[in-house]
């Protein structure tokens, strides 16, 4: 069984993992919200084969 | 060519894709895998698999789907045929319909447990149980006299799925995701805050606290890194959690417009899923169970697997908390939302296949496919070991094999340059060139190693039914017959559709 008190290495792993995920999530949210194309815009090429 | 539906909004699409990915695996399977495979050290192979396997394969499935959809194909048989001009292409692509169909047959049954447990939490049944009664309650409900209450919830779950899919991609699946995913995040945030502020609930056991529960999950055991098993477990978890290799992402992406972005949207889906998995999933079940039961008990629970953690331990420990009845209900509502957004995605591949290949209407296709799922699930409910057998062949080995096939077809048969251009078409963010080399070389090699290692590690044992109780063997053979039946039926449907299309072409020629 892994030790039952949070070690320094445990904090490092938790902090690094959470930081990577939080930063990537914020990056994606900002970029998706800031994307220039308007939502639900009909595509000129719709129906084109 | 019949016009295809499209996603109404980009946010709706990302939420639907994330809903497909976020499932029971995020909240139950991930913490169990991490706790049993080196704690924090598990995150090293996990992030390696995510970067080299998960996200590249996610982009492959998105781009493959958008490409196929722009030419009128919503599932991998048609998509493969477009790229790989061979008679074998459609038949190989059939796996992208068969695998999700086989998996949803048992997935919807597990989903119905969460609905049943919402009810039993809310009506006070769990509040009246003693701690030692939760295990027998779960076992009895599934295999004893309790069949009928669970069966009722199973029927309701099937009807709810059918109702969502009946309304179509945009008005049904997307509308569900726009409600269920935000609700899931709100519920998870509320529960995580409650758990992390719990401290040590029993003052006579001060070491049993949430922080030490987090330590159980995050303290690294570096000695595990030298074991092959931890690398396989991490890659398997990434595959399972991102819903890769099912053909479902490609099916959803087929409803994109041909110049819609797939790079940023695919990355957003992956990060949303990781948020739910590592931050929410890692902060709920294991820390909470640790705070009430201690390390030795949680270690034993982790060995028993995700179902014990989710359906025995969690309702039990919630009852020890103030407002436990409410918290337990919210936990199972959260799991139900995670489940239904995944089950509609799994069923969508088969529905789209029937719509595209046989030209059936949406409602006819949805009714037929959910009829098949309902019948198949009865076998899971009444047959001992059927779930485990189908889960291994379709939900474990099958998805990795099909993930490898997708990469070979899209990157190598289509051509690495074509694949790269297709992925980057309409992209809202620029991918670094290194991703090209990862996609072309590292991802297929990584996947090949996984396939070989898993077959060597578990494939022979499962094939020969090593360790299977004698009373389960007949049911396991029936499960294999069902898998074969699904594959043969799909092959026959492909052949029938070929004849239908040839007749159509001949008819049009004669009318001219």
Calculate Rg over the CA atoms of chain A. Answer: 21
The span from the CA of B159 to the CA of B379, in Å, is 18
What's the average model confidence in pLDDT over B194-218? Answer: 88
Among all residues of chain A, which has the CA nearest to that of B428?
A: A35
What's the average model confidence in pLDDT over B106-130? Answer: 94
Nearest CA to B47 among B259, B244, B238, B290? B238
Is residue B4's pLDDT more than 90?
no
Contacts with A45 from chain B: Cβ below 8 Å: 257-259
What's the average model confidence in pLDDT over B425-446? Answer: 95
The C-alpha of B299 sits at a distance from chain A's nearest C-alpha, in angstroms, of: 7
Q: How confident is the model at residue B466 (pLDDT cuts 50, 70, 90)?
A: confident
What's the average model confidence in pLDDT over B452-477? Answer: 86
Q: How open is the CA angle B240-B242-B246, to the nearest 5 degrees? A: 65
Q: Tell whether A25 lies on the interface with B, counting CB pairs under 8 A.
A: yes
The span from the CA of B256 to the CA of B66, in Å, is 6
What's the average model confidence in pLDDT over B235-262? Answer: 94
The C-alpha of A39 sits at a distance from chain B's nearest C-alpha, in angstroms, of: 5
User: Under an 8 A CB cutoff, do A32 and B221 touch?
Assistant: no
Q: Give residue B30's pLDDT.
A: 93
Q: Give residue B503's pLDDT.
A: 67
Q: How confident is the model at residue A41 (pLDDT cuts 50, 70, 90)?
A: very low
Is residue B360's pLDDT more than 50?
yes
Q: How confident is the model at residue A35 (pLDDT cuts 50, 70, 90)?
A: confident
Name the pTM for this structure: 0.91
The C-alpha of A11 sits at a distance from chain B's nearest C-alpha, in angstroms, of: 7
What's the average model confidence in pLDDT over B110-128? Answer: 94
Contacts with A26 from chain B: Cβ below 8 Å: none
Is residue B8's pLDDT more than 50?
yes
Q: Tell whether A9 lies on the interface with B, counting CB pairs under 8 A.
A: yes
Q: Tell whether A8 lies on the interface with B, counting CB pairs under 8 A.
A: no
Cβ count within 10 A of residue B405: 20
The span from the CA of B147 to the CA of B116, in Å, is 12
User: Under an 8 A CB cutoff, do B296 and A1 touch?
Assistant: yes
Q: Give residue B3's pLDDT.
A: 67
Q: Give residue B253's pLDDT.
A: 96
Q: Give residue B1's pLDDT.
A: 47
Q: How confident is the model at residue B199 (pLDDT cuts 50, 70, 90)?
A: confident
Taking CA atoms, B155 is separated from B149, B152, B158, B333, in Å, by 10, 5, 5, 17
Is residue A49's pLDDT more than 50?
no
Q: Identify the weakest region by mean pLDDT among B118-127, B170-179, B231-240.
A: B231-240
Taking CA atoms, B419 is separated from B37, B83, B259, in Å, by 35, 10, 15
Answer for the pair B297, B291: CB distance below 8 angstroms, yes or no: no
Contacts with A29 from chain B: Cβ below 8 Å: 268
Provide the token pair at B8.
Answer: 């109404």
Q: How confident is the model at residue B140 (pLDDT cuts 50, 70, 90)?
A: confident
Burial readout B153-167 (b: 16 or more C-beta within 10 A, e: otherwise):
bbeebbebbbebbeb
Select the more confidently predicted residue: B201 or A22.
A22
Mean pLDDT of chain B: 91
The C-alpha of B263 sits at a distance from chain A's nearest C-alpha, in angstroms, of: 11
Burial readout B471-481 (b: 16 or more C-beta within 10 A, e: otherwise):
ebeebbeebbe
Q: Strand ranges (DSSP E) for B70-133? A: none
Considering only CB atoms, B218 lies closest to which of A13, A21, A24, namely: A13
Taking CA atoms, B124 is separated from B50, B119, B145, B292, B332, in Å, by 41, 9, 20, 20, 14
- Interface test with chain A among B26, B218, B293, by most A beta carbons within 10 Å: B218
Q: Tell whether A40 lies on the interface with B, counting CB pairs under 8 A.
A: yes
Q: Give residue A47's pLDDT.
A: 42
Size of interface A-B (CB pairs under 8 A): 119
Is residue A45's pLDDT more than 60?
no
Phi, psi for B428 (deg, rounded to 5):
-85, -15
B379-410, pLDDT tens digit by residue?
998 888 899 899 989 988 899 999 999 999 99
Q: Tell whether A7 lies on the interface with B, counting CB pairs under 8 A.
A: yes
Q: Give residue B510's pLDDT.
A: 60
Q: Give residue B2's pLDDT.
A: 56
B298-344, pLDDT tens digit by residue?
888 888 888 999 999 999 999 989 899 999 999 999 999 999 999 99
Looking up tokens 């492959």, which residue turns up?
Answer: B60
User: Under an 8 A CB cutoff, do B216 and A4 touch?
Assistant: yes
Q: Tell whether A46 lies on the interface with B, counting CB pairs under 8 A.
A: yes
Q: Give residue B45's pLDDT.
A: 93
Among all residues of chain B, which has the CA nearest to that of A22?
A: B275
């Amino acid at each position: 069984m892994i030790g039952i008190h949070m070690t320094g290495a445990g904090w490092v792993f938790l902090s690094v993992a959470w930081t990577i995920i939080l930063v990537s999530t914020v990056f994606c949210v900002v970029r998706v919200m800031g994307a220039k194309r308007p939502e639900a815009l009909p595509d000129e090429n719709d129906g084109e084969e | 060519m019949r016009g295809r539906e499209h996603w109404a909004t980009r946010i709706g699409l990302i939420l639907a894709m994330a809903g497909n990915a976020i499932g029971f695996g995020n909240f139950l399977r991930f913490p169990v895998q991490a706790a049993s495979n080196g704690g924090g050290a598990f995150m090293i192979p996990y992030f390696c698999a995510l970067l080299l396997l998960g996200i590249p394969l996610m982009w492959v499935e998105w781009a493959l789907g958008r490409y196929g959809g722009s030419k009128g194909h919503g599932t991998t048989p048609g998509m493969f045929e477009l790229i790989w001009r061979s008679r074998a292409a459609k038949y190989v692509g059939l796996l992208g319909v068969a695998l999700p169909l086989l998996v949803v047959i048992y997935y919807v049954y597990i989903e119905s447990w969460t609905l049943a447990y919402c009810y039993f939490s809310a009506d006070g049944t769990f509040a009246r149980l003693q701690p030692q009664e939760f295990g027998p309650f779960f076992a009895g409900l599934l295999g004893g006299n309790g069949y009928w209450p669970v069966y009722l919830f199973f029927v309701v779950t099937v009807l709810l799925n059918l109702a969502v899919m009946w309304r179509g991609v945009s008005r049904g699946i997307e509308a569900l995701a726009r409600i269920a995913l935000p609700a899931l995040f709100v519920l998870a945030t509320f529960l995580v805050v409650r758990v992390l502020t719990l401290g040590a609930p029993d003052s006579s056991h001060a070491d049993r606290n949430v922080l030490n529960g987090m330590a159980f999950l995050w303290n690294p055991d570096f000695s595990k890194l030298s074991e092959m098993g931890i690398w396989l477990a991490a890659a398997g978890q990434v595959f399972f959690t991102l819903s890769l290799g099912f053909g479902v992402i490609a099916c959803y992406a087929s409803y994109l417009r041909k110049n819609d972005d797939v790079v940023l949207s695919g990355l957003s889906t992956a990060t949303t899923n990781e948020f739910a998995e590592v931050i929410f999933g890692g902060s709920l079940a294991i820390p909470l169970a640790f705070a009430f039961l201690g390390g030795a008990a949680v270690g034993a629970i982790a060995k028993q697997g995700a179902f014990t953690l989710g359906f025995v331990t969690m309702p039990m420990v919630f009852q020890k908390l103030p407002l436990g009845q409410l918290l337990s209900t919210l936990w199972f509502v959260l799991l139900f939302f995670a489940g239904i957004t995944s089950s509609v995605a799994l069923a969508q591949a088969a529905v789209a296949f029937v719509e595209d290949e046989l030209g059936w209407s949406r409602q006819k296709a949805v009714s037929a496919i959910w009829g098949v799922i309902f019948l198949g699930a009865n076998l899971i409910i009444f047959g001992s070991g059927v779930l485990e057998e189908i889960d291994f062949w379709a939900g474990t080995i099958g998805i990795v094999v099909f993930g490898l096939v997708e990469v070979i077809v899209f990157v190598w048969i289509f051509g690495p340059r074509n694949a790269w251009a297709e992925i980057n078409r309409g992209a809202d963010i620029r991918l670094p060139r290194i991703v090209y080399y990862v996609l072309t070389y590292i991802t297929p090699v990584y996947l090949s190693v996984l396939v070989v290692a898993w077959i060597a590690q578990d494939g022979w044992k499962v094939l020969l039914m090593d360790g299977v109780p004698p009373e389960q063997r007949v049911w396991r053979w029936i499960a294999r017959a069902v898998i074969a039946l699904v594959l043969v039926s799909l092959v026959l449907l492909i052949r029938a559709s070929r004849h239908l299309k040839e007749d159509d072409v001949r008819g049009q020629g004669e009318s001219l």
